[in-house]
Amino acid sequence: MLEFLIPNNVMCHAVEAMLFASLGCALLSVLITQMNISSIGFTMSHAAFAGGSVGAFFGYAVLPSAVFVSILTAFLMGPLSDRTRMHTDTTLGVLFGTMMAVAIFFIALMQGTGKGFDASSLLYGNVISLYREEIYALAVITCIILIFLIIFYKEITAIVFHKRLAEIAGIQVKPVYYGILFLISVMVALSIPIVGGLLLYVWLVTPAAIAYQFCNTMRNMFIMAPVVAVIVSVTGAICGILYSLPVGPLTAVIFSGLFVGAVAVSPKRKIVFHNH
């Protein structure tokens, strides 16, 4: 897609992947941070991890299995948190433990039977090893997220502000809320091969956390978070490949440094004193 700008094929793939993954994750990060469901990041990445190990055990390809189990978990998550009458974060905690246990169980089984399973691609990712189809899938899911946000913007903002008040206003809360959880899970599953399950959390939280330091409205956060994420991720990808550094960790460190800087200069911490 960006070959006309970046002739180097490896660099081009890496930049495209980081561009779409960071754009989609950053848009979702605004919802994740404002709805206080940040545990969804590591729950979904461990669901993908569990899916990958189950798939490998039964002889299926690792990535499709990982995506399948992530989507299955997403379908369970909303109804499960409703039925258990617990905060979504608590349900996510339960699912996280379960998924981790499933992953460890099947890895142990494979080790016992002499089958090998290399989990490093799911844990750490590798931005330069992606297939074209995976980048297209990222582009498609990012477009779907963008369209979903535009179409249901008013419902989403009302739910983010206060789920109960949104329900009282006569909004159909459940379909929109489940839709948000579903999109997060698909985005996580498709982004894992790029930065890995362990670092993906940074993409799902930090862009919004940085934007939050400067923005007073959701609209501004939805603009600033993706802009920051794309700049940082593309810079990380280019620097990583040019200087032979691990792209995922490098980008995560840049994000974290930027967050510290944002907190330091945030106008939200400014104390104004007028004595008249």
> What is the C-alpha to C-alpha distance for residues 144 and 60, in angstroms, rounded to an integer?
27
> What is the C-alpha to C-alpha distance for residues 227 and 264, in angstroms, rounded to an integer?
20
Among the residue ranges 52-60, 153-161, 244-252, 257-265, the one whose residues contact other proteins (CB under 8 A): 153-161
CB of 155 to other proteins, least distance (A): 7
* Sole binder of other proteins in the list 10, 161, 231, 257 (CB under 8 A): 161
Asked if 268 touches other proteins (CB under 8 A), the answer is yes
Among the residue ranges 3-11, 109-117, 129-137, 158-166, the one whose residues contact other proteins (CB under 8 A): 158-166
CB of 138 to other proteins, least distance (A): 27
Asked if 235 touches other proteins (CB under 8 A), the answer is no
How far apart are the two ends of the chain, measured CA to CA in Å?
Answer: 59
Among the residue ranges 71-79, 185-193, 215-223, 233-241, the one whose residues contact other proteins (CB under 8 A): 215-223
| Token code pair at residue 70 | 């992530």
DSSP 54-121: HHHHTT--HHHHHHHHHHHHHHHHHHHHHHTTS-HHHHHHHHHHHHHHHHHHHHHHHHHTT----THH
Asked if 217 touches other proteins (CB under 8 A), the answer is yes
Nearer to other proteins, 37 or 215 (CB): 215
> What is the C-alpha to C-alpha distance for residues 20 and 135, in angstroms, rounded to an integer?
8
Number of residues that bind other proteins (CB under 8 A): 27
> What is the C-alpha to C-alpha distance for residues 98 and 87, in angstroms, rounded to an integer?
17
Asked if 34 touches other proteins (CB under 8 A), the answer is yes
CB of 91 to other proteins, least distance (A): 16
Among the residue ranges 110-118, 124-132, 165-173, 251-259, the one whose residues contact other proteins (CB under 8 A): 165-173
Asked if 162 touches other proteins (CB under 8 A), the answer is yes
C-alpha 146, offset from chain centre? 14
* Sole binder of other proteins in the list 27, 215, 225, 237 (CB under 8 A): 215
Q: Is the dihedral of CA 225, 268, 37, 54 positive or negative?
A: positive
Burial label for 100, CB within 10 Å (0-12, 13-18, 19+), is middle
> What is the C-alpha to C-alpha distance for residues 129 and 151, in angstroms, rounded to an integer?
34
Asked if 132 touches other proteins (CB under 8 A), the answer is no
For residue 199, give the amino acid letter: L
CB of 152 to other proteins, least distance (A): 8
Radius of gyration of the chain, Cα coordinates, nearest whole angstrom: 19
Asked if 82 touches other proteins (CB under 8 A), the answer is no
Among the residue ranges 98-106, 111-119, 128-136, 162-170, the one whose residues contact other proteins (CB under 8 A): 162-170
Binding site for other proteins (CB under 8 A): 34, 85, 151-152, 154-155, 157-158, 161-162, 164-172, 212, 215-218, 220-221, 268
